Amino acid sequence: MGKIQSMSDTSVNSTTIDPAEIPRGNLAGFKKYFKYDIVSGFLVFLIALPLCLGIALACGYPAIAGIFTAIVGAILTTFISNSELTIKGPAAGLIVIAIGAIEAFGGDGAIGGFSAVDIAAYRMALAVGVVAAILQILFGWLRAGVLSEFFPLSAVHGMLAAIGVIIMIKQLPVALGVEGRGEPLEMVAEIPHYFSEMNPEIALIGGVGIAIMFLWPLVQKLHRLLKVVPSAMVVLLVTVPMGMSFDLLHPHAYSFHGHTYELGESYLVNMPDRPFGMFDYITTPDFSVFTGKYLLEALKWVFMFFVIGNLESLLSAKAIDIIDPWKRKTDMDRDIIAVGAGNLCAAFIGGLPMISEIVRSKANIDDGARTRFADLWHGVFLLLCVALIPMVLHRIPLAALAAMLIYTGFRLTHPKEFMHVYEIGREQLVIFVATLVGVLATDLLIGILIGIATKLVIHLINGVPVRSLFKPFLDVEITGENTVTVRARYSAIFSNWIQLRRQLVQLGILDRRNVILDLSHTHLVDHSVLEKLRDLVRDFEDAGVRLEVQGLEGHKQLSKHALAARKRALTRLRRVTVIAGEGLARQLSSKFLELGASGFTVFPCSGTGGDTSAEGGGVQEPLVRLETIVPNNVAEPILDYLRVEISPQQRMTVCLETVEVLRQGYG
């Protein structure tokens, strides 16, 4: 009957879990699962250390800013959020926003070293981070986390793919040891120049780093012990000695193929030169950005940090909830408050914005973490590392970090992403590509708006009424002692999903009733709604009630994918009805078939009217009612035939109507 359960993997709830055996992030859990959490925390630390440094530099912040963020996120959010397995910290998805803010305020980040202008831009960006963090806290406090569900999934994935492309473009010059700046498409045109001007020894470090990042996952398959060693750590183990052999700590020049190249500390990560020197790098925000010429720019980037940060964080937390072995559920509003509090503290000391990061969180699960204290331990290890051995971190080549980020960018825009979106539906690929190209050609905000606009246009083309674009039309009926049926009309699409979801949650989870959602009267149900309904089915099950989605058997999937958009399978056809003397039945039916009708129906009837009524005093005569439903190109010849061949000789009544039919097969 087109139930949503048939389109989703419900195996995640197929195993009964004893509540007493579910690990909890409390004092008892801290003691009981200590050995699991500290081991996982250490392994995640090995992944996080180089990525935090690389992401910070790619954002135009000092390298240590990424460490500040991870430490604050690990220690503070552990005690605020109830998310047991997510790792909080800087993420590649925010690079484009952070460097965009830096450049908008006149800086260029680490390119050519941090000048006074770069530091000023950095402090302004910190002020933007503070205001965005306050909005995040208010957002969670007002329980407005559901607003993030407005964005269509294909547009979100297109945005992330565009971010991946931008990361690769921006980090390629760093990996080659040359300067590169400008808009993404401008930098693409400069790629041949980057290779022709590359610094050979730096490019060798970058090239080796890229090769390791791509090949190490294949090497890990050779032995299970190799899986413990993350590829980013292997890059450091190989490239740091390479940097030492090239003597990057000391300025000097070398010749290669008749060209002279400069080397020095500018190709290494800038870190404190003594233990506990990290405190010298604490930087405070400059709130003058909200009073001067940069006010409008500042407000724009506040909005970007706030919206994209919330969206990425919530998507990551939801993804981790799904793969949590104990099926624990994160309070999304509480998690947003935690992330906002972390961002607020991090911005006040010079840190990057943070989110619930998906890659490190997945590694946390794979490494055997039980509770949120694994996140805490990963932060403690980062704190000890940057506090006690910053001189060692200073030996990390920038090209090695760029190699890691190029790999990260590639994963965001992997060809499999395009194929996956195409499998869901060709219209989803159009939205995905429109968003990607829009972000590359303009900026993140305009790009995501282009993706949303593209999806709305596609919905209108598919027949969604304008009045239901942003408002669901719902009929609610009590159909059992503990069951309520919600019938949706016109459409169930991403832009009216929030109100639809609110109604379902209120009637089901909050009022403790089973809900039947009837979609048979909708013209279109889009992919975003189907995927979110799948997640909502799980939420209902976790709450001890049931959500059953019906009425999709009359809809046609736009692709073979289980969660493809579904359009009501109604076809606009013409119904030709002829009422004539019964002697014409055989002649008309034969001619209708000859002219292209696939079938017809005949009803014996009787009646009087017109001349017959006047002459016969109302005596009824035997008649037939013949109907056929045909396409317009068949209806027109039938009408011509009736008008030219039959009408001059026989009395009859002809009616032509436009109808929508579920299936064809009978006239």
pLDDT per position as a tens digit, 559-605: 999 999 999 876 678 899 999 888 888 889 889 999 988 888 888 88
- The answer, yes or no, to whether residue 662 has pLDDT greater than 70, is no
- The answer, yes or no, to whether residue 556 has pLDDT greater than 80, is yes
Which of residues 377 and 142 earns the better pLDDT score?
A: 377
pLDDT recorded at residue 13? 40
Which of residues 618 and 139 earns the better pLDDT score?
A: 139
Left (φ > 0), alpha (ψ -120 to 50) or beta: where does 425 sit?
left
Most confident of 321-325, 376-380, 576-580, 593-597: 376-380
- The answer, yes or no, to whether residue 362 has pLDDT greater than 60, is yes
- For 390-444, write each residue's pLDDT tens digit: 999 999 999 999 999 999 999 999 999 999 999 999 999 999 999 999 999 988 8
Backbone angles phi, psi at 34, to 5 degrees: -55, -50
Domain 466-568: homologous superfamily in CATH: STAS domain (3.30.750.24)
CA–CA separation, 149 and 132 (whole Å): 19
- The answer, yes or no, to whether residue 643 has pLDDT greater than 60, is yes
pLDDT recorded at residue 10? 36
Nearest to 378 by CA among 12, 75, 25, 8: 75
pLDDT recorded at residue 288? 95
Encode burial over 392-423: b for 16+ CB neighbours within 10 A, e otherwise.
Answer: ebbbbbbbbbbbbbbbbbbbbbeeebbeebbe
Q: Say what the alpha-carbon torsion angle 118, 119, 120, 124 is, to the nearest 10 degrees.
A: 100
pTM: predicted TM-score of the whole model, two decimal places: 0.81
pLDDT recorded at residue 609? 62
Domain 571-661 has CATH 2.40.40.20: no
- State the chain's mean pLDDT as an integer: 90
Q: Where are the domains of the chain?
A: 36-412, 466-568, 571-661
CA–CA separation, 462 and 558 (whole Å): 11
| Side-chain half-sphere exposure of 511, counting CA atoms within 13 A | 16
- The answer, yes or no, to whether residue 165 has pLDDT greater than 50, is yes
Provide the residue type at 16 as one letter: T
pLDDT recorded at residue 611? 55
pLDDT recorded at residue 570? 67
In the chain, pLDDT over 70 holds for what percent of residues?
Answer: 94
Q: Are 636 and 596 spatial neighbours (Cβ–Cβ below 8 Å)?
A: no
Check for a shared fold between 466-568 and 571-661: no
Query: What is the arithmetic mean of pLDDT over 110-114?
Result: 81
- The answer, yes or no, to whether residue 652 has pLDDT greater than 50, is yes
Query: What is the arithmetic mean of pLDDT over 61-74?
Result: 96
